[in-house]
Structure 1
């Protein structure tokens, strides 16, 4: 047994060395820098920050490099590092109406108050491979257009003025912190939104798509999608007031959903909401659809059995780090368990064969 343990340690060390060699690739090719990942693979960096619950582009870029581009592994690395950081306090809720907007669109109003800003988007590209990026490098780009400063009102507020959409429902209860407390079911909407924000983008996207195909009550319009920088403020006890400690880039989506009314509510539109770190609009739209589907009980609707309406199904399966850990643990040694199963199968087969022989 001792020999096996020593051999196992040596094999693990060699596996780590082999992994480092594979990560580096051909040494004749220049090593990629974390600054290149941060600046040129921003959408990957944004996803890692969102699902890792840590806004730090440099660390996210490092995690992506270390993980060889495996974004779930990079999320795992970021979350592990996050647990080592001290908690200095809680920031005040960000005011997205004061966002310095780089992209703002609405699918509900063509002439949206405040204007529509296309910003950086794949929406109008032809999805054709640009081989010049491989052959000649990139052409010089024009200077970036600065973000639009000042207050930009949310479009749903204009629907609210006529009572056409449900009023925002403030909750004075302090939200739980999923990074420090285990999730309990049933969960509050704030807890659900945290879990969906941290959830795997592909899983949330699939759930959102299922609602659009009829597995849930989500026939939605994008009331507004906006991307930009928001100020992060924190109360300083020694000063007695809040100060801005920095800015973060976020993507916010509000969907406008049909609602036929209930015993207590008149027919009106209802809301779905999504907010993520960085430019991450596919995730934020998907979030808002799933958020709305999960609100069926709050709005007095019927449960149709759709997966996106099932709180336990959504929240307990959305986290890619937990899912990865449970999935990948089955490749670790299970020799004793398997031997037990093997003996059971042999015993059952022997009993069946004995019965057949006795019958003959």
Structure 2
């Protein structure tokens, strides 16, 4: 750190004080409370929870306030706090098939069982900047989604009836213990479950760019949004002392089932294939990007050539983590005096050697020119 710089620890303490002052802003304005951030910036809070690998809207809102809106700094705070929490066990797999959807749209079928639920979305707004935000009143008889386990069957299940899409799991599939990328080292190649875990906590912007690249031809994707759902799902935990799973709460999720074209191979029939995304909170763009990249990373399963960045598992996973990326980039601000001095000495030496070679070449050229002139004079 910069402790050795003039002022030392006092300068760093002053830097902290200045940061807090800048974050507070005008002392005459009302300080923002974390509850306001939590309730009025739900999309941003969801991103911090997803990339911070910790579902807690209150903590995410506090992290955003502490970081002055810097998403990566807030994610870092969340992950740091997460490491201090005790681990009691692993919850049961979430049953998203019965996800009670506030929002459910499909780009593959106009009329689907349960209907299209538009929900809360920016998709149909005019994207015009408003001088003041207003809250319109909802109709007295708002449309409510149908209830029941079969009220909103998955679009992929409808395609699966006629074997038009690959099964959601192989016939010989077993349910292995879930890996934890926060506690275990990353080893390539990864299982699809491990990849999905890494993508779910990956940087939204990075995944968006990769997902976009697959649509532009840098990957073998021809995608359709089979279904995007946003809603709450119950979390269950099997307590050893009870011997049964009990509900411990509900969390909001966004799930995307992407349907992709596949022309088949020598041993596989033509069918649609799947890309999958599941993210904390309202995070449609992230879930869709994740599902596009998930399908691109399955190239080897379908004997497809891996020719694009989105199809390279090590490239994608190693660079999707924004905390690692930010740390490696921002560490360049830290003192590198010794390293730079070494580079400076080397560059000076190479520069001198270059000038000596140039001078020697110039002298040799002058000598050749002089000999040529003398030779021409003697002939004359």
TM-score, shorter chain, exceeding 0.5: yes
1:103 matched to 2:106? The reply is no
Change (3 A) 1:65 1:148: farther
2:288 corresponds to 1:285: yes
Aligned length: 354
Matched, 1:142 2:144: no
Please say if 1:294 is aligned against 2:294. no
Aligned to 1:321: 323
Offset of residue 236 of structure 1: 1.1
Relative to 1, partners in 2 of residues 1:114 and 1:148: Cα closer, same or farther, differing over 3 Å? closer
Partner of 1:90: 90
Structure 2 length-normalised TM: 0.90
Q: What is the match of residue 176 of structure 1?
A: 179
Distance 2:73 2:46 in 1: 14
Q: Distance in 2 between matches of 1:34 and 1:23?
A: 14
How far 1:147 moved relative to its partner? Answer: 6.5
- CA drift at 1:262: 1.6
1:162 aligns with 2:158: no
Please state how far the C-alpha of 1:265 moved relative to its aligned partner. Answer: 1.2
Aligned: 1:358 with 2:354:
no
Cα distance in 2 for partners of 1:148, 1:71 equals 37
String of CA shifts for 1:185-209, please: whole Å, max 9, x gaps. Answer: 1010001101111110000000000
Q: Which range moved further: 141-150 or 221-230?
A: 141-150
Counterpart for residue 197 of structure 1: 200
| C-alpha distance in structure 2 between counterparts of 1:110 and 1:189, whole Å | 31
Q: What is the CA distance between 1:51 and its match in structure 2?
A: 0.4
Instruction: Please say if residues 117 and 145 of structure 2, whose CA atoms lie closer than 8 Å, have aligned partners that are also in contact.
Output: no
Q: Distance in 1 between matches of 2:42 and 2:319?
A: 26
Helix, strand or coil for the counterpart of 1:271?
strand
The equivalent of 2:229 in structure 1 is 226
Task: Check the 8 A contact 1:232/1:247 in 2, yes or no.
Answer: yes
Distance 2:24 2:198 in 1: 34
1:268 aligns with 2:254: no
1:4/1:180 CA distance change after superposition, 3 Å:
closer
Secondary structure at 2:130 match in 1: coil
Measure how far apart 1:99 and its partner are. Answer: 1.3
Give deviations 1:89-111, integer Å, cap 9, x for gaps.
10001101221210001000111
Superposition deviation, residue 148 in structure 1: 5.4
Q: Distance in 1 between matches of 2:40 and 2:146?
A: 23
Q: What do residues 223-257 of structure 1 show as CA deviations (whole Å, max 9, x unaligned)?
A: 01000000000111111110000000000000110
Unaligned runs of 5+ in 1: none
Alignment partner, residue 341 of structure 2:
339
Unaligned runs of 5+ in 2: 364-380
- The answer for the alignment partner of 2:123 in structure 1 is 123
The equivalent residue for 2:240 is 237
Tell me how large the CA RMSD over aligned residues is: 1.7
Larger radius of gyration: 2
Q: Classify the secondary structure of the residue corresponding to 2:13.
A: helix
Taking the aligned partners of 2:327 and 2:146, their CA distance within structure 1 comes to 43
Shift of 1:145: 7.0
Partner of 1:75: 75
The CA distance in 1 between the partners of 2:192 and 2:52, in whole Å, is 20
Question: What is the distance in 2 between the residues matched to 1:268 and 1:75?
Answer: 39
Q: State the 1:6 CA deviation.
A: 7.9
